[in-house]
Structure 1
């Protein structure tokens, strides 16, 4: 059976990391050009169609008005473009050697998933927790019902390939969420998909603030997935840091390169890249291609031997959360909704009305994410938590930790305290990989 998961598995057997942009344009010709450039980048890559914010929230009236008036959208409106337009946009591009994934952010994905299947696509992402808590005020129970309906239908669509769904659970809030909770939510959403009949999934994890901690988290995610997802095709996808991104070209590319190194060391098979433009504006197609090439070149020379990392308890904490949620209800969807309601799943700094907001986290002096409060998470005796969450100024410093770290290193490397030009930064980043 062909499909997104099979493409990634084949690359992994060849020792290659699949790289993927976060790309989406409202203009049809530009969306096709972005996919063509990704396919022709000369690296193992998957294509991306990221949807616009109106489609994500179900505001199709605003989408249609924008299309009628020729106004630019911040992503591709797959539901409201005529089906033949999307099929023509994809013609000759999407296939076993170049899969395309739809990324959206909707807590109510039914129309989106129906539209992508009708267009001949078989891969998307999300989840009832990860696409609800950060992005909406939709009640979690309603999101669970919507995702249950959508996944059941999606799992049965095998005309174009084996349907594949990536949980966004490892990317909750993008930053300042301790790794154990990211691992747990990623696992729980993947198990939710599997229980609805979907047998090809990927588990996400967002690069955080400390490479050793991230490596421990990836190894924990891999071990627990092997245990909790039997009879399932799965792989792990890492997202390059999703918080405040370096503003210098050299800093941005160094962070992307470190994300690629993390993938190889932690056994992740796919990487979602970011670009030198993330801190300033929507990236161009060329900037996305540069990031893909830097990441792939870095992965190509990184030592993939099994890493030895300190066990700080991430796997034990994640297991405790997963098992506590599984014990709540016989139906996992109902268990997820109840877990949020009673605080067994409680994401720091998440303002969704259903989120208990009794947990807290910070970046310590060593750069590790640690709990300041664990609320009602089942982590008694498993996680050290203490201290106040800090002042607003301290929170802002934690949020900008990676930006400052990588920009400072880039400026120091330049020798004159100024940003490197983009071409020089690209050359320098690739040189550091030995290419």
Structure 2
């Protein structure tokens, strides 16, 4: 399906697909729609602190950002695995957790966190990473949260040892918990971010769309589909166009949906300028592709968890770059075509043959290797597929395993070894840091 490395690459003009009209639009989606229609890119951090005072200060700082911003409350590791007793003991001892323990804090405390901060002009999303989030989702529904995220596959395979059938059944129940709320709650698929890197775009797109279909099947009507920045801006632009077209085709007219892009989630550059260059590239990609929302990273990602101030700096930098890009280049236009749309479509349609509903189809497709995340060691993942970065920076299938895809022409001669895998994991780190160091050297010679 792919064109390979030789010859010309076809280019097709793909118009931007407008956000769908839907009556089921909660506060989160209304804000994203309004910002998009006004020409703004919504920027959002990945921020979480254990104590309510610090978490509230973080939300207030993000709300004051110059630009359209959404707040984030990232939960802690104990909550992700439903160890709420340990989270409560940690709070009692004053331990520094790596996020906000929603269940341990309780509904009233979390409501106090949001009161006076979250509103129509500043929705807040709770981010978690849990394969079995029933208790968390119950708390979020009682709190009146605007949005959360994850998925039956995307928060099971890379993060947990929970069997995929169990996670899928749990997520079906969790969707119904959220769907039963009087006010529409937003649910974002994390499927476009599987393992953060070295997963070719067609599988990321297919998983995100399939999870969106799963959410819809279980009552959700406000959804976002995701994609993580990879190693080639041209490939990413094609991938985002394909994601938008497939979401429009498969999510239905009764779903209010948008696209969210993640700044690269793999090994980050170690120089501050290199890190900001990577963030800048993701912002420009978001604007050029017509993406509505961007999850940003900071310049210290390679070293530690960022402070509130560092998150704000990254958000304001992203908002400024987005404004500059909108002035410099129109949204939409021609993108190259290497078969990403066709691959993703094949993965979606072949998956749906494995069950009468999306959940059972996902479980069946993974059981037969028709969905297979490369380098993922989960017990329900075949782990036969392999991907590689070609010399031009494009992420391709070296071996698709049992998936109904073809290996990329001209890129299957050398096996992926431990050394080459490590080299690929550091590809963007070296690329952006090298640009910074080469630029410094050139300036020193002048």
TM-score bracket for the superposition, by shorter chain length = over 0.9
How large is the Cα RMSD of the aligned pairs? 1.5
Residue of structure 2 in register with 1:350 after alignment:
376
**Contact 1:360/1:389 (8 A) holds in 2:** no
State the Cα distance separating 1:416 from its structure 2 match: 7.9
State the Cα distance separating 1:110 from its structure 2 match: 0.9
Matched, 1:122 2:122: no
State the Cα distance separating 1:382 from its structure 2 match: 8.4
Alignment map for 1:218-229 (pairs within 5 Å): 218-229=240-251
Distance 2:354 2:433 in 1: 45
Where relative contact order (Cα < 8 A, 6+ residues apart) is larger, the structure is 2
**Contact 2:289/2:331 (8 A) holds in 1:** no
Residue of structure 1 in register with 2:319 after alignment:
296
**What whole-Å deviation, never above 9, does each CA across 1:21-57 have from its counterpart, x for those lacking one?**
0000112111001100000012100000001011111
Distance 1:382 1:330 in 2: 32
* Partner of residue 182 from structure 1, selected from 193, 204, 207: 204
**Structure 2 vs 1, CA of residues 82 and 153 (structure 1 numbering), >3 Å: closer, same or farther?**
closer
Matched, 1:230 2:252: yes
Residue of structure 1 in register with 2:71 after alignment:
47
Residue of structure 2 in register with 1:260 after alignment:
283
Distance 1:49 1:217 in 2: 28
Residue of structure 1 in register with 2:80 after alignment:
56
**Structure 2 vs 1, CA of residues 382 and 234 (structure 1 numbering), >3 Å: closer, same or farther?**
farther
Structure 1: 5+ residue stretches without partners? 419-435
**What whole-Å deviation, never above 9, does each CA across 1:38-89 have from its counterpart, x for those lacking one?**
0001210000000101111112222122112111110000011032211111
**Structure 2 vs 1, CA of residues 68 and 156 (structure 1 numbering), >3 Å: closer, same or farther?**
same
Matched, 1:320 2:342: no
State the Cα distance separating 1:394 from its structure 2 match: 1.3
**Contact 2:46/2:297 (8 A) holds in 1:** yes
Matched, 1:274 2:301: no
State the Cα distance separating 1:7 from its structure 2 match: 0.8
Matched, 1:34 2:41: no
Aligned residue pairs: how many?
416
**Contact 1:316/1:382 (8 A) holds in 2:** no
State the Cα distance separating 1:300 from its structure 2 match: 0.9
**Contact 1:246/1:279 (8 A) holds in 2:** yes
Alignment map for 1:131-146 (pairs within 5 Å): 131-146=155-170
Distance 1:273 1:56 in 2: 22
Alignment map for 1:22-171 (pairs within 5 Å): 22-158=46-182, 161-171=183-193
